Structure 1
């Protein structure tokens, strides 16, 4: 009985030690997670906050397509250093920067790269920005679809290759079996050979459908590219 109680005590001590060893690691992980979260929310460095060049920061944000709500994130980032942004300077810079962003060339480029649009352009500039943005966006989607179809073609080629390898392997295994059956079959008796279990060939209609879709998407892509500002002199 005493031995049993001692074993129970030792087991409890072992469990406590295991918990004690795990606890610091958990704290470290939590600390790292918190640090990553804070760094993800930081929009400006300490030097940026201390420099106080809010006009230049506004120009940069406007030219990058950020909305004016970006200033609230900067305010939070600089609160640690007890610095408040100059809203007027920032807005003046942002208005200058947004004019550089809301151009047809930039709209096409943003759409071509699959970037999102936050609706930040003023009405007098937005219509032409969006016109080219949609062309670029459609090109991006068509190009992505072409890549998907090409991957699908490669996957089907690989499947055909694997099926062919399996078929040849089955044939190599069947040949000794056929020979053995012929050796042991009595004279005059028909030889019964089990058919091989092979995968049916590819559906020609499915292959034709894939080729037609690929051709159609490529034609649409070429038409859109001709309409884009890249093809204009």
Structure 2
């Protein structure tokens, strides 16, 4: 017998993941490289290379870089770093070199330590 909850939950997750990648491709098709960069930055991801982005289409690197910088600026707010660590999100060092980078890392580490101690 099929466990409906597990099957349905798996389908929802699959559709959400498919929707995320489709929306990124859609943004690239529309030429909205700022938004792609912003999404990478606000999620705390490392900046992608031209080669990686070119797989999505005719990349506008300056737009991507501007969006990425804006996203990282919002992500690196030390007021939210503790919660990011506490939620189990790994920190990839994107705030290093920013004015709040050290404070962000310390607050994230405090949350991460509590997350991993459970």
- Whether TM-score is above 0.5 comes out as yes
CA-based RMSD of the aligned residues comes to: 2.2
Matching residue of 1:141: 116
- Match for residue 65 of structure 1 among 44, 52, 67: 44
Return the TM-score normalized by structure 1.
Answer: 0.38
Query: Is there any run of 5+ residues in structure 2 with no aligned partner, and where?
Result: 1-17
Matching residue of 1:104: 78
Output aligned runs, 1:57-206, within 5 Å. 57-69=36-48, 72-76=51-55, 78=56, 83-123=57-97, 124-142=99-117, 144=118
1:49 and 1:87 mapped to 2: Cα distance? 12
Query: Is there any run of 5+ residues in structure 1 with no aligned partner, and where?
Result: 1-38, 145-233
Q: Which has the higher helix share?
A: 1
Per-residue deviation, 1:133:
0.5
1:70 and 1:128 mapped to 2: Cα distance? 27
Secondary structure of residue in 2 paired with 1:110: helix
- Bigger relative contact order (CA 8 A; separation at least 6): 2
On the 8 A contact 2:27/2:35 being kept in 1, the answer is no
Show CA shifts across 1:86-111 (max 9, x none). Answer: 00111011111101001112311121
